[in-house]
Chains A and B, each alone.
Chain A
Amino acid sequence: MNEAAITRSILKLDSWLDSMRCPEGYGGPVAHWWQNCLQFAGVGLDWRYEGIILGYLNLYEKTGNGLWLDKARRAGDDLVRGQLPGGSFRNSSFELNPYTGGTPHEAACDLALLHLCRKLKEMQDPGWQVYFAAAKNNIQGFYIGRLWDDGARCFRDHPGVPSFVPNKAATLVEAILLFADVSGDAAYVDTYALPTLRAILDHQVRHGELDGGILQNSFRSKKVWKFFPYYIARCVPGLVSGYHWTGEEEYLDAALRAMAFVLRWRYEDGSFPQVVYANGRLNRYPQWIAAVGDVLRAMALLEPHGVEIDARPTLEWLLGGQEVTGGFRTAWGFGAQISQRAPGPLAEFRDLLPVVGWSDKAFRYLTHALSGDQAGDSPAALGVQALEAECTWRGEMLAYREDATTIELRRRGQALYRWQKDAAWADVCTAEMWWK
């Protein structure tokens, strides 16, 4: 691993993240497998804050430079300011924004707040209490108050519908275990976290070609036999935390099997398919780029447990996706999402579109992987270099441009889409861009 390359990548990404800040936090449009959110591009208090806060805390840990801690606190303050009376966070639904009550987004925010809180507490900075109170309000008011299903002994994905999503539950388990660690009060662990971990285990396949795979969700007790390698990797940290807390090998075994499943589907170039079905078929495209930071993080978490994983191909896949702006490409193959035929040479608009809530995954992993102290120098010195590239949209070739203030898509000089980076809504969005 080239330390200088990673350092440069992190500093570019930090500058790009700064360019995505609106007055009240980090904004930007979203491209996702299920839904796009190109029109609303204001501040989203969703899982983007997990990678941002933890990334800046990683940098502070490794360099001791207070500027990184200031940035982590600034992000924590965004969450505190945006908390609603019921404990939820404003616009926490990522691809569904502008709506509150997003899962796993609010748990990811709690996790970030609790990590920030733990660091400040270690430093005997009384500021930790504000972040602790915000996380506690959310866990109590939103998750326990609204989503806990006492009959099923797990957290629902919606208060009105019996439903369970393992990867979302895993993030929440991590948050509850950290809450117990920070507060010294383990009351929620036995009542909520461990039964939820059991429910995750109940969704893992334990035989055949799909061994280790974790089903995407269940809905009214019907299990949905779809396997998303990315989301299976997102289950690993929760399972590993459960193992550390209880010492029960079953959780570690589940995490190892989950990672073995993910790696069985890895392509030579280090990328992963989007979704694998129980009938053995798959929909490969779009393949995440920025988000594989979470897969790399899961690999790193398992390393101390005697697993040898060659992370290099996936790290190269990730680093190859960074643009000159500093943001990471979201994916490869959005243009082939429907046909699933191999994409042509040009990226689709949503492939190029850098999304804070995906790039934060890269940021968190890269700052974790950094071993030196080089990131302490002039944190925002690199700036955002403009990117001009050709891309496609609905099969047509168009011109993409991004700089420090604007993201724009043009056809023969005419803007089809434009977002001014400090605005809550797209400035231009012509009829052909209406694709949620």
Chain B
Amino acid sequence: MERQSSDPDRAFTRVPSLEYQYGFDFCAVGVHRLRGPVAILAPSAFYLHELVKRLEHLDPALVDTRTEATHSSVLQREEKLDIEPLGCWESAAKAIVWAEPESKTSSAIVRSVARNLLPDGRLYIIVSGWMSRALPEWKQHDGHGNRPHLPLGLFRTLSRLRAASFKVEALHGFHGPASVFWGYLSRAQEYLNRPDLADRCHLRMRAAYAVKGWQSLLAPVGVVVVAKGPGARQ
């Protein structure tokens, strides 16, 4: 099935921020490795488009996590994809990618994930932290519904998962504190007319971009890798 958007604006390089590129690619590598049925849970065309681009060969089930009745049909029309609303999602998955948990829907989604995730499967959750408000995706209204209504955030996502007996295996953040520091230093060097040093600081920033553990909590975008615990509740 041809899943590339036919809208020339969308077809042109709308490359997302590097933070999100890392997040999407991280999920893609993990999901391909699992080799099994895949589901993508997304609240907007932005996430859906990026994840489908990376996972289309795996023929994923696409689930709209918004509660508005009209939303699925809007996504469907824009993306020309077969998208089902959350309430209708009933297919077992070895890998689930859940983009951007929102306050309003997260409890229902956690229940659905517990029901549909296979025992040896993994859930990858892309979460935008408070620092993400500085990213272009959050600053611009591009008419593609990029912004979640009320993002749950990393802390509340983690607590909701633990309450449902999911096991958080890993936490990765992109553009952690060290890389932010090197980014500022790069700009300072540019200002001081040392573009050679500015480039080196910029490269240092890139090298420090991906972080694990507590530093992820300070990153604009993170990915949580989750396994189904023994008592995961439906």
Q: B-contacting residues of A (Cβ < 8 Å)?
A: 35, 39-40, 84-86, 88, 90, 93, 96, 98-102, 141, 145-146, 158-159, 225-226, 275, 277-279, 281-283, 337-340, 394, 423-429, 431, 434-436
Contacts and interface: CB of A to CB of B under 8 A. Distances in A.
Interface string B14-58: 110010011001101100110000000000000000000110010
B191 to A, nearest CB: 14
A392 to B, nearest CB: 13
- The prevalent SS among residues of B at the interface is helix
B76 interface: no
Interface stretch (B63-71, B97-105, B114-122, B201-209): B201-209
B21 A90 contact: no
A146 B8 contact: yes
Contacts of A394: 207
16 contacts: A84-B4, A88-B12, A99-B13, A100-B11, A101-B11, A277-B195, A278-B195, A281-B194, A283-B196, A338-B200, A339-B200, A424-B57, A429-B29, A434-B209, A435-B209, A436-B209
A259 B21 CA distance: 37
B29 A39 contact: yes
A39 B28 contact: yes
A90 B11 CA distance: 9
A158 B200 CA distance: 25
B126 to A, nearest CB: 15
B147 interface: no
A252 B209 CA distance: 44
A408 to B, nearest CB: 15
Nearest to B57: A424
Given A101-B13, A435-B209, A283 B199 contact: yes
Given A40-B28, A436-B25, 12 more contacts: A35-B206, A39-B29, A84-B4, A85-B8, A88-B11, A226-B195, A338-B204, A424-B32, A425-B28, A427-B32, A431-B212, A435-B209
A126 B123 CA distance: 52
B33 A428 contact: yes
A99 B28 CA distance: 14
Nearest to A160: B12
Given A225-B195, A279-B196, A338 B207 contact: yes
Contacts of B91: none
Nearest to B204: A338
A96 B16 CA distance: 10
Interface of B: 4, 6, 8, 11-15, 18, 21-22, 25-26, 28-29, 32-33, 53-54, 57, 172, 193-196, 199-200, 203-204, 206-207, 209-210, 212
A101 B203 contact: no
Contact of A423 (B8, B32, B203): B32
Contacts of A35: 206
Nearest to B12: A101
B54 A100 contact: no
Contact of B8 (A86, A158, A278): A86
B211 to A, nearest CB: 9
In the A-B complex, the 7 residue pairs with the closest CB atoms: A101-B13, A434-B210, A86-B8, A281-B196, A39-B25, A101-B12, A425-B32
Nearest to B172: A431
Contacts of A93: 13, 15
Contacts of B21: 436
Contacts of A426: 29
A425 B29 contact: yes
Nearest to A91: B53
Contacts of A96: 13, 15
A302 B204 CA distance: 38
A146 B32 contact: no
B24 to A, nearest CB: 9
A143 to B, nearest CB: 12
Nearest to A426: B29
Contacts of B199: 275, 283
Contacts of A85: 6, 8, 11
A282 B197 CA distance: 10
Contacts of B4: 84, 90
Given A85-B6, A159-B12, A340 B32 contact: no
Contacts of B11: 84-86, 88, 100-101
Contacts of A86: 6, 8, 11-12
Contacts of A434: 22, 26, 172, 209-210
Contacts of A159: 12
Contacts of B207: 338, 394, 435
A278 B15 CA distance: 30
Nearest to B13: A101
Contacts of A283: 196, 199-200
B231 to A, nearest CB: 29
Contact of A279 (B29, B194, B210, B212): B194
A428 B203 CA distance: 24
Contacts of B26: 39, 434
A282 B25 contact: no
A35 to B, nearest CB: 7
A101 B18 CA distance: 17
B38 to A, nearest CB: 13
B15 A99 contact: yes
B92 to A, nearest CB: 23
Contacts of A429: 29
A300 B28 CA distance: 43
